[in-house]
Structure 1
Amino acid sequence: MRFHADLHIHSKYARACSRDSDLEHLTWWALRKGVALLGTGDFTHPAWFGHLRDRLVPAEPGLFRLREDPSAALDGDAPGALPPGADAGRMRFMLSVEVATVYRRGGRTRKLHHLVYVPDFEAAEAFNRSISRYGDPASDGRPVLGLDARDLLEIVLGSGDGAYLVPAHVWTPWFGVFGSRSGFDTVEECYGDLTGHIFALETGLSSDPAMNWRVSGLDRYRLVSHSDAHSPPRIGRETTVFETSLDYFEVLRALRTGDGLAGTVEFFPEEGRYHIDGHRKCGVRMEPRETRRRGGICPVCGKRLTVGVLSRVEDLADRAEGVRPDGAAGFRSLVPLPEIVGEVLGVGPQSKKVLREIDRLVTALGPELAILEDVPVDEIEACSPPLAEAVARLRRGEVVRDAGYDGEYGAIRLFGPGGPARAGTTAPPTLF
C-alpha cells in the first residue's frame, strides 16, 4: 500500500497552535489533503493524553482510529468539502510528540527538538512518567526538558519495545541538531554512545534531501519530512511516503532499513523560514557567500546574523551539489494547493475565495496532494485552465523562488510579471 504520512503535528494544547487542532478537525483536514497516517502530537500533555485515550481505539498494530465518525462532532461546521470517497474510518493515528531539550554541553547551551514515537498508551505513560522529573508536561504540548539529548534517547528506548526517536528539523538554526545557534556538527556528538539507535532524520521545511546528500556522514540515515503543523490546514505541506501496510512496526522497519520508504514530499526549501541568512528586524537577508564576507554581522545594526540552513549545509558539506547516495529515496518538491490557487486568483491563500475554489476542485478531482502530483493536467484544465498551467509548471520545477530567512517564510511563485517563469528552473529529483 502506498500512502502519505504526516508524523509531526501539534494539538490545541501546544503553544501558538490553533484551537481547532483537535482529533476531529485534524482527521477532516488529513482526508482533504490525502494523508492516510497522522501523528497525534503532544501525547505528553495530560489533557491531550486523556483526550487521546478517550477518543482513539486500537486499529492495526501500533496504530489507532477514531472511536466515532468525526463529522458528528463537527456538527455541520465542517471547513468545506471533502474528496469523493473520503472515509474517516480509514484514517489512522500514531502516538507522537515533539520534545524540546535545553541543556549545557561543551561550554554552550543546546536547544534541540526531537520527535518521539511509541506504539501504545502503556509506552506513552512510561515515557511521560520518566520525563516529568525534568520539566512540566502540562505547561506546553511540546514539553521543554532540562535534559541532555543523549539521556532523552535513553528514556525513549526504555519506554517499551518499538519506541524510537527522530531528530526534528535537523538544520533549523535555533532547535536543530545541526543548527547554527545551538547544535552540533555530527549526530554522534549529540547522542553519544546511543547514536546507533538513531536511524532517521527530519529534513525540516528549509532543507530538502538534495541538500542533506551533500554531507556524506548522513548517508546512513533515512530522511523524512513532515508538516510540523500548528493548525489543521497546514497538514500535509510536507509528508513521508511509504509503501508498506498500515502498521506501526512496518513503518518502523521501513525507516530502519529503507525497504518500503518511497520518499518524501517537500517544500521548495527556499519557502522555509530559515533557508538563507539574515536579520529580520533590519530587513537584511544574505546568501552564504555574502554572510562570510561580512563576518556574519548585520550591516544595519552590527549584531550577529541568524545563519540559515543553506549556510550551515555548506559549512558541513563534503560533496558537490547533485550527488545522490546509492539507495537514497527520492523526493518531490511541491507548493501547497491553497498558495497556488491564491496566486491564480490574485488573493491570499487563506481567503474564502480560495477555500470555495478548493472545495470545487477536490469535489471534482480528489485530494489536494493528488491534484498536485497525480491528476492528469488535462483533467485539471477541464476545471481550471490557469490552475492546470500552474500545476504543469510546478511538476516541471519551473518556479520563482524568494528565499525565507530569520523566521520569515519565503515565497514560491508559479507566475512572474514577465510571463512563464523560466529563470532558475532546475527541476528537483522526483519521487515517482
Structure 2
Amino acid sequence: MEQYFVDIHVHVGRSSNGRMIKYGTSRDLTLKNIAYESRYRKGINVIGVVDCISPWIIDDMEDMLERGELEEIPDGGMIYKDDLVILAGAEIETREPSYGCSVHSLVFMPDFKGIKELSNIMKMHMTNMENNAIISRLSGRELIDIVDDLGGIYIPAHVFTPYKGFYGACTDRLINVFGDALDKIFAIELGLSADTYMACQVSELDKMALTSNSDAHSLSKMGREYNILEMDHLSYTEVIKALKGEDGRRIVSNYGLNPVLGKYHRTFCLECGHIIDAHPPVTKCPNDPKHKVVMGVKDRLTVIRDREDCPIELNRPPYHYQVPLEFLPGVGPKTIGKLLDKFGTEMNILHRATTDQIASVVGEKVADMVIKGREGKLNIAHGGGGVYGKVIS
C-alpha cells in the first residue's frame, strides 16, 4: 500500500476555447492547467474535477484522451503523466422544496462514458446547461438515484456552510432529505469552516467518511485542504475503497484550514459588518435582532448537534490544521516560487522540508511560520460572513 495526496473538489474556470464554465473562478483554471499544476507544483496525486458535465469540458477531456494526454484506467479514473489521476465529476445544485433551500453535492463517474451519460441526463434537468452546468431542478433524493443508477458516487458538499450546505442552509439531519437513500451516501465533505471534531457532534455521520477538499476557484487554491489516502494504486475504485475503508484501504488523515480561518466559521451581521464573537450559538445580532445575519458553522452546529464529543470508538483519522503558503503574512508569489524551485512541490514544502532547509531559501521568519502552520500553532483571527480569517503575524 502507498499513501497519496487527494483533493476531490476543484472547479474548472474556462474551457480550452475560452468559454466560461464556472462564475467566480480565474481565467487560467483550465483542465490542462489543473492537471499540470496538480502534478508539477502542488504534488497532488488524485484530483476531482467537478465541472465535467459541461459540454465544453467534455470536449476538452475527449481531446486530451485522443491526444494521449489522458488515459482511462481499467478500474476507473483518467491518468495524467503516470502519477496523477483525474476523477471526472460535477458539483450540482439541487432544490429542497420542503425546506425552501438549495444545496450543493459532488458526484463522480468512474469513466468518460459515465460522465457523458450524466451530462446528457442533466440537460433535461438544467436550464441553459452550456452556460451554467450546476443549477438543476432536481431534489437531492432524485439526483442520488440518477447517480446511483449510473454507477457513480454522491457526496454532499461543504455540508456545514450557510451557503448551499445541507446542514448549514437546509436541514438539521440528512435523513430528513434522503430517507432510506441515506445508505447510498458513504462520505461527506466538511467544508473550509469545519473539521472532524466539529462533525463528530452529529451522530448520523458516524458511518460516513469525512473528506477535506479545496473547493478551489483558482490554481493557487488547489490543495488548500486535502486528504491522505492509503491505497494499492491510483484509480477511481481505489479511492472509493479508501473512503469506505475496504480491503485495507483507508483515510490516513485529513489536512485542512483551522476552521477559524474559514469564511463562515462564526456568525456575521450584514448590517453591522462584523463577526459577532460571542459565546455560541449566536443566531441574532446583539445590536438589533432585526438585522440580517449569516450564521456561522460553529454556531449552527451548536444548535443542531446531538452530542458534544467525538466518541473514541469511532476511531476517526486525525485532522491536521494546515495553513496554505499563500495565507502566511508576507509570503507572496515570489517567495512561493523560490520555495517551489528548491523543493519541487507545495506538498514537499508543507510536509517534508525542515526548518533549516526552508530558512536557507527564504529566511527564518517564513520558515518559522511554515513549521508553526504545520504544527497548528499560528495565531488566527476568526472568519465569517464570506470573509476568510487571517493569520496574525
Normalized against structure 1, the TM-score is what?
A: 0.82
The equivalent of 1:126 in structure 2 is 117
SS at match of 2:315: coil
> Deviation per CA, 1:209-235, whole angstroms, max 9, x where unpaired?
111112222111100011111111111
Contact 1:177 1:190 in 2 (8 A): no
Which amino acid in the other structure matches residue 89 of structure 2? S
Corresponding position: 1:101 with 2:103: no
Contact 2:187 2:208 in 1 (8 A): yes
Contact 2:270 2:292 in 1 (8 A): no
- The percent identity for this pair of structures is 27
SS at match of 1:275: coil
> Deviation per CA, 1:324-365, whole angstroms, max 9, x where unpaired?
55321112111111222xx1x3xxx5xxxx222222212212
Which amino acid in the other structure matches residue 65 of structure 1? I
What is the 5 A alignment of 1:240-319?
A: 240-244=227-231, 245-257=233-245, 259-287=249-277, 289=279, 292=282, 296-297=284-285, 299=287, 302-319=290-307
The equivalent of 2:193 in structure 1 is 206
CA shift in 2, pair 1:290/1:317, >3 Å: closer
The equivalent of 1:136 in structure 2 is 127
The equivalent of 2:354 in structure 1 is 376
Long gaps (5+) in structure 1: 67-87, 416-432
Corresponding position: 1:43 with 2:52: yes
Cα distance between partner residues in 2 of 1:375 and 1:323: 34
CA shift in 2, pair 1:243/1:378, >3 Å: same
Contact 1:277 1:288 in 2 (8 A): no
User: Alignment RMSD, CA only?
Assistant: 2.1
SS at match of 1:189: helix
What is the 5 A alignment of 1:70-219?
A: 88-105=81-98, 108-136=99-127, 138-140=129-131, 142-159=133-150, 161=151, 163-179=152-168, 182-219=169-206
Which amino acid in the other structure matches residue 146 of structure 1? R
Contact 2:280 2:302 in 1 (8 A): no
The equivalent of 1:3 in structure 2 is 4
> Deviation per CA, 1:236-270, whole angstroms, max 9, x where unpaired?
00112111110110111111226321121101111
Cα distance between partner residues in 1 of 2:254 and 2:128: 31
> Deviation per CA, 1:373-424, whole angstroms, max 9, x where unpaired?
22222222322221221123223322212111111111123x3xxxxxxxxx
Aligned length, in residue pairs: 375
The equivalent of 1:81 in structure 2 is none
CA shift in 2, pair 1:309/1:156, >3 Å: same
> Deviation per CA, 1:99-156, whole angstroms, max 9, x where unpaired?
0012411xx3121100000011221122222222221362545411111110110010
CA shift in 2, pair 1:96/1:324, >3 Å: farther
The equivalent of 2:16 in structure 1 is none
Corresponding position: 1:27 with 2:35: yes
Which amino acid in the other structure matches residue 254 of structure 2? T
Which amino acid in the other structure matches residue 126 of structure 1? E
Cα distance between partner residues in 1 of 2:198 and 2:23: 30
Cα distance between partner residues in 2 of 1:363 and 1:190: 49
SS at match of 1:15: coil
> Deviation per CA, 1:184-218, whole angstroms, max 9, x where unpaired?
11121121221100010100001011111122221
Long gaps (5+) in structure 2: 14-20
The equivalent of 1:401 in structure 2 is 380
What is the 5 A alignment of 1:351-362?
A: 354-362=332-340
Out of 63, 68, 75, the position equivalent to 2:77 is 63
SS at match of 1:138: coil
CA shift in 2, pair 1:298/1:158, >3 Å: farther
Which amino acid in the other structure matches residue 94 of structure 1? L
Which amino acid in the other structure matches residue 78 of structure 2? F
Cα distance between partner residues in 1 of 2:287 and 2:313: 39
Deviates more, 1:52-61 or 1:295-304: 295-304
Normalized against structure 2, the TM-score is what?
A: 0.89
